Chain A
Amino acid sequence: MSYYFRLGAKSNLSADDLVSRLSQFSSVFSKPTLQLVHCLWTEHGPILHSQQELLSMASIGQLVDIQWKLGMAVSSDTCRSLNSPFISVLMKIADTSGEASYKTFEMTVPQFQNFYKQFKEMASVLETV
Chain B
Amino acid sequence: MADADSQRSLSALLNGITQRVYHGNTEITEDFLKNELYPGMTQDEFRVLHDKMGSLLKSIASADMDQAQLEAFLTAQTRKQGSSGLNSDQAAALGRFWKAHRSRVRESLVAQSHWEPGLKGLRWRVDLHTSASKGTVANNPVALVELEMGRTGEKSEFVCLEFDEQKVNLVLKKMAELQESIDSIVHRS
Among A79, A85, A112, the residue within 8 A (CB) of B62 is: A79
- The proximity string for B residues 109-121 relative to A, scoring 1 for CB distances below 8 Å and 0 otherwise, is 1101110111100
B149-A58 in contact (CB<8A): no
Complex Cα–Cα for A60 and B158 (A): 11
Q: Is the interface of B mostly helix, strand, loop or mixed?
A: mixed
Among A58, A81, A104, A107, the residue within 8 A (CB) of B64 is: A81
A residues in contact with B63, CB < 8 Å: 80-81
Query: Are A79 and B143 also in contact (CB < 8 A) when A105-B118, A120-B172 are?
Result: no
Query: Are A84 and B175 also in contact (CB < 8 A) when A60-B161, A119-B168 are?
Result: no
A79-B161 in contact (CB<8A): no
Most buried by B among A59, A84, A91: A84
A62-B109 in contact (CB<8A): no
Query: Are A60 and B144 also in contact (CB < 8 A) when A105-B116, A123-B165 are?
Result: yes
B185 within 8 A of A: yes
Interface residues of A in 78-127 (CB under 8 A from B): 78-89, 91, 93, 103-109, 111-112, 114-116, 118-120, 122-123, 125-127
Query: Are A107 and B113 also in contact (CB < 8 A) when A70-B182, A78-B62 are?
Result: no
Give the size category of B's interface with A: 35 or more
A70-B124 in contact (CB<8A): no
B144-A104 in contact (CB<8A): no
A106-B109 in contact (CB<8A): no
A54 within 8 A of B: no
A88-B116 in contact (CB<8A): yes
B172-A123 in contact (CB<8A): yes
B residues in contact with A78, CB < 8 Å: 62, 109, 112-113
A7 within 8 A of B: no
Query: Are A103 and B149 also in contact (CB < 8 A) when A78-B109, A123-B168, A126-B126 are?
Result: yes
Shortest beta-carbon distance from B125 to chain A in Å: 9
B residues in contact with A47, CB < 8 Å: none
B residues in contact with A107, CB < 8 Å: 118-119
B residues in contact with A61, CB < 8 Å: 159-162
- The proximity string for B residues 39-64 relative to A, scoring 1 for CB distances below 8 Å and 0 otherwise, is 00000000000000000000001111
A residues in contact with B96, CB < 8 Å: none
B169-A123 in contact (CB<8A): yes
A76-B113 in contact (CB<8A): yes
A122-B126 in contact (CB<8A): yes
List the 9 shortest-distance A-B pairs measured between CB atoms, nearest first. Answer: A129-B141, A81-B64, A79-B109, A106-B116, A116-B175, A84-B110, A80-B62, A105-B149, A126-B165
Where the two chains meet, the residues of B that have a C-beta atom closer than 8 Å to any C-beta of A are 61-64, 109-110, 112-114, 116-119, 122, 124, 126, 128, 141, 143-145, 147, 149, 158-165, 167-172, 174-175, 177-179, 181-182, 185
Q: Given A67-B174, A105-B118, 5 more contacts at CB 8 Å?
A: A73-B110, A76-B113, A79-B113, A106-B117, A119-B172
